[in-house]
């Protein structure tokens, strides 16, 4: 049996709200999200809170605990003193839906605006080859769980809502860096894009994004500052500009390699099946791979079920039934037949 501790939880919606006092039992080993759940189970059954994995991997339970943006499931109660009142509030930067749930669609809009991976010309899917050393930097940024704590803590939008149009935020700077550093990404305009459309120049590298990142991604040192330096190459450095004119090459993108571009070198995963062992030795997986025609034409992807604004619903709280809609549409049956497990290559269109 644990002891009772003092909590203040913000309750309300977009029309207003305030901090309400609660006394909740706390047991050894618990985290703040456990307390929120206990609160829901006892005093406040209508307390709204977004959560999912309770393991710091889904990025759902972002909230502000004693004023600091944190994941509820990764903030141990043992880090607070027994007499301390713990204040739990929703993310400040985003519009509130109810209680601890905010509308984070700002982030999805910025995600939609960021150009996706551009496949290298002349390399078919299945023929992508990369060296670990080349892709390592990008992999750090793939750890992102999209909890949006960095977006929430960044003062550029937190304290200046008017910058939301011009500024994409740290999460999308690591996305830009991830793709710009990616050995196979074919786009050459990511630096210009980061500077002109993502608002990289707004960042004054005060490093709060790095401080709050639950995945400990070195957002500022490994993504934002390298991107700023790459932008300098493009925009502000007269020597690099001169060098690129003299040697007729693009700064940074000088050695964009078409690795695996020769079909002769990499035949793709068992397209011909020449190197496969005899039929009776093949595994099921190899059978499937053998059957996949990596160059077959694939029809356009089925569009997800979207609302009047052309988007998926933001919150399941507003759905007309329990659970989120399938982004594949409801007429798709799972599991998909293995022969159809294939990706549509943009070059095919």
Partner 1 sequence: MTTTATRPVGAQARASISARTLRTDRWWIAPLITVIGLSAWIAYATVRVYMHKWFFVEDYHYLTPFYSPCLTDRCGDAAEFGTFLPNWWIIPEAALTLPFLLLFRLTCYYYRKAYYRSFWLSPPACAVPDGHKTYSGETRFPLIFQNAHRYAFYAAGIISVINTWDAIKAFHSPEGFGFGLGNLILILNVVMLWAYTLSCHSCRHIAGGRLKHFSRHPVRYRFWTFVSKLNTRHMQLAWITLATLAITDFYIMAVSAGWFGDVRFIN
User: Where in 175-194 is the site for partner 1 (CB under 8 A)?
Assistant: 181-183
Q: Which of 21, 45, 46, 67 binds partner 1 (CB under 8 A)?
A: 67
The yes or no reply on residue 301 touching partner 1 (CB under 8 A) is no
- Can residue 325 be called a binding residue for partner 1 (CB under 8 A)? yes
Q: What are phi and psi of 26, to 5 degrees?
A: -125, 130
Please give the Cα distance from 105 to 313 (Å, whole number).
10
| Shortest distance in whole angstroms from residue 60 CB to partner 1 | 17
Q: Please report how close the Cβ of residue 147 comes to partner 1 at its closest, in angstroms.
A: 15
Does residue number 312 form part of the binding site for partner 1 (CB under 8 A)?
yes
Longest CA pairwise span in the chain (Å): 75
Q: What is the DSSP string of 262-281?
A: -TTT--TTTSS-TTS--GGG
Residue 133's H or E segment, with its range, is: helix 132-141
**Residue 297 structure tokens:** 């034409």
**C-alpha span between 347 and 349 (Å, rounded):** 5
Q: Which DSSP symbol is given to 300?
A: P
Whether 70 contacts 63, CB under 8 Å:
yes
Cβ-based neighbour number of residue 251 at 10 Å: 18
Could you say whether residue 300 binds partner 1 (CB under 8 A)?
Answer: no
Q: Does 318 bind partner 1 (CB under 8 A)?
A: yes
Pick the binder of partner 1 from 3, 21, 28, 204 (CB under 8 A).
204
- The single residue among 249, 326, 346, 348 that binds partner 1, judged by CB under 8 A, is 326
Considering only residues 155-174, where is the footprint of partner 1 by CB under 8 A?
155-156, 158-163
Contacting partner 1 within 265-294 (CB under 8 A)? none
Q: How far is the CB of 250 from partner 1 (least distance, A)?
A: 11
Give buried/exposed letters for 271-298 (b at 16+ CB in 10 A, else e). Answer: beeeeeeeeeebeeebeebbebebeeee
Question: How far is it, in rounded angstroms, from Cα 298 to Cα 342?
Answer: 8
72 close to 65: Cβ distance less than 8 angstroms: yes
Binding range to partner 1, per CB under 8 A, among 50-58, 120-128, 289-297, 301-309 = 301-309
Q: Choose between 64 and 289: whose C-beta lies nearer to partner 1.
A: 64
User: Smaller CB distance to partner 1: residue 134 or 287?
Assistant: 134
Nearer to partner 1, 296 or 311 (CB): 311
Q: How far is the CB of 106 from partner 1 (least distance, A)?
A: 10
Copy the structure tokens of residue 145: 């769980």
Q: Give the footprint of partner 1 on residues 136-155 (CB under 8 A).
A: 136, 153, 155
The sign of the torsion formed by the CA atoms of 43, 49, 51, 57 equals negative
User: What is the closest distance, in whole angstroms, from the C-beta atom of residue 84 to partner 1 in the complex?
Assistant: 7
Least distance from partner 1 to the Cβ atom of residue 164, Å: 10
Smallest gap from residue 213 Cβ to partner 1 (A): 11
Which residues inside 106-135 make contact with partner 1, applying CB under 8 A? 131, 133-134
201 binds partner 1 (CB under 8 A): yes
Q: Which residues contact 344 (CB under 8 A, 6 or more apart)?
A: 298, 300, 301
Q: Is residue 261 close enough to count as binding partner 1 by CB under 8 A?
A: no
Angle at 18 between CA 48 and CA 148, to 5 degrees: 50
**Least Cβ distance, residue 109 to partner 1 (angstroms):** 12
Residues 71-110 that bind partner 1 (CB under 8 A): 84, 87, 89-90, 92-97, 102-103
How many other β-carbons are positioned within 10 Å of the β-carbon of residue 145? 18
Binding-site string for partner 1 from residue 220 to residue 259, where x marks contact by CB under 8 A and - marks none: -x---xx-xxxxxx-xxx-------------xxx-xxx--
Q: Which of 60, 24, 17 is nearest to 43 (CA)?
A: 24
């Amino acid at each position: 049996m644990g002891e009772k501790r003092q909590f203040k939880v913000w309750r309300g919606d977009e029309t207003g709200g305030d901090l309400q006092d609660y006394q909740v039992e706390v047991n050894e080993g618990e985290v703040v999200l456990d307390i929120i759940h206990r609160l829901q189970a006892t005093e406040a059954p209508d307390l709204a809170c977004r959560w999912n994995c309770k393991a710091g991997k889904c990025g759902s339970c972002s909230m502000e605990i004693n004023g600091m943006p944190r994941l509820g499931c990764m903030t141990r109660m043992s880090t607070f003193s027994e007499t301390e009142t713990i204040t739990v509030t929703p993310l400040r930067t985003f519009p509130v839906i109810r209680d601890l749930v905010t509308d984070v669609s700002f982030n999805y809009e910025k995600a939609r605006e960021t150009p996706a991976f551009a496949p290298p010309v002349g390399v078919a899917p299945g023929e992508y080859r990369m060296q670990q050393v080349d892709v390592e930097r990008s992999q750090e940024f793939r750890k992102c769980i999209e909890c949006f704590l960095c977006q929430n803590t960044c003062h550029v939008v937190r304290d200046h809502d008017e910058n939301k149009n011009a500024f994409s935020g740290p999460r999308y700077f690591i996305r830009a860096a991830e793709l710009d550093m990616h050995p196979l990404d074919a786009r050459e305009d990511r630096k210009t894009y980061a500077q002109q459309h993502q608002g990289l120049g707004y960042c004054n590298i005060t490093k709060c994004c790095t401080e709050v990142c639950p995945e400990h991604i070195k957002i500022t040192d490994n993504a934002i500052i390298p991107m700023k330096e790459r932008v300098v190459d493009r925009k502000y450095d007269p020597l690099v500009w001169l060098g690129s004119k003299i040697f007729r090459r693009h700064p940074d993108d000088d050695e964009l390699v078409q690795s695996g571009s020769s079909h002769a070198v990499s035949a793709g995963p068992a397209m011909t099946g020449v190197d496969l062992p005899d039929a009776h030795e093949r595994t099921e997986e190899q059978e499937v791979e053998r059957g996949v025609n990596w160059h077959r034409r694939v029809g356009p992807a089925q569009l997800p079920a979207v609302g009047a604004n052309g988007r998926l619903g933001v919150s399941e709280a507003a759905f007309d039934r329990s659970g989120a809609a399938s982004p594949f549409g409801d007429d798709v049956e799972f599991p998909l037949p293995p022969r159809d497990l294939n990706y549509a290559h943009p070059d095919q269109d």
